[in-house]
Amino acid sequence: MQFSATQRDAGDGPPGATATFPYDRTTVERFRAAFPRARWRDDLGAWFVPGATAERRLNAWSGREWTGVLAHADERGRDAFAFEPLASPYLEAADDLVVRTPYSRVVVAELRMVPWARWDPASKAWRVPFRSLEELRQRWPAIEDAARQAEPEERRKREASRRAAPEHADRLAEVAERRRNRYPLPEDALPPLGQVLQTHLVCSRTTPRWSSWTSRSGRSTP
């Protein structure tokens, strides 16, 4: 939840300022009580408060009230979590919600999209205030799935599966040939015209499916 106020030029209408904040019924009631002349503007996507000093008055109000608004939002989020908790080995509830997972770019990207979430280097965990519970809940399936995929055991399984694939031996053989400045070619590939070459039908570090063309000067020829 964030509050912002911006003074607008008079233009064709009266001077004033716009105010934006996430919708919450109690917050709107407090806001309307403090600014009875405020009106919601669909064209601006914000509340419009008339007056040449509207921005200053809005910022003064947010300084007085916003701490209480955030505390109220945290309390509501805490009650919602108690009623419908997020059960996960990667999440624990303390003064706020603590998310601790193996490193994953997906997890980082998802948590950065949660308002007020922050990385705590001391505890090596993400901390999310209860006021952001609903945003975290919406993103939690993707976060939890990415965290499980990032577990060391899952990484080892994927690496073993990759090494067991038939294509893996071919890739290793090709890399070895390239390190020797020889470029594997299919056996039926014709040599380049106008250059003296020698051929090895089967190289020691390649599979029988590959041969390589090497010029007599010692330089490889694709």
**Residue-wise pLDDT tens for the chain (222 aa)?**
467 778 876 566 788 899 887 766 777 888 899 999 999 988 888 899 998 899 999 988 888 877 777 888 889 899 999 999 999 999 999 989 999 999 999 999 999 998 888 898 889 999 999 989 999 999 999 999 999 999 999 888 877 877 777 777 777 777 777 777 766 667 777 777 776 655 555 444 444 444 444 444 444 444
E strand or H helix at 154: helix 152-164
Domain ranges of the chain: 4-83, 91-153, 181-215
Tell me the pTM: 0.53
**Per-residue 3-state assignment (H helix, E strand, C coil) for the chain:** CCCEEEEECCCCCCCEEEEECCCCHHHHHHHHHHCCCCEEECCCCEEEEECCCHHHHHHHHHHHHHHHHHHHHHHHHHHHHHHCCCCCCCEEECCCEEECCCCCHHHHHHHHCCCCCEEECCCCEEEECHHHHHHHHHHHHHHHHHHHHCCHHHHHHHHHHHHHCHHHHHHHHHHHHHHCCCCEEECCCCCCCCCCEEEECCCCCCCCCEEEEEECCCCECC
What whole-number distance in Å separates Cα of residue 85 and Cα of residue 82?
6
Of 211, 217, 178, the C-alpha closest to 195 is 217
10 Å Cβ neighbour count for 91? 22
Compute the distance between CA of residue 139 and CA of residue 110 in angstroms, rounded to an integer.
7
Res 184: pLDDT: 62
Strands 46-50 and 97-99: unpaired
Bridge partners, 125 (sequence order): 120
Q: Give the HSE-up count for residue 129: Cα atoms under 13 Å, Cβ half-sphere.
A: 11
* 68/62 Cα distance (integer angstroms): 10
Instruction: Give the pair of three-digit tokens for residue 162.
Output: 């990759």
Helix (H) or strand (E) run with residue 213 in it: strand 210-215
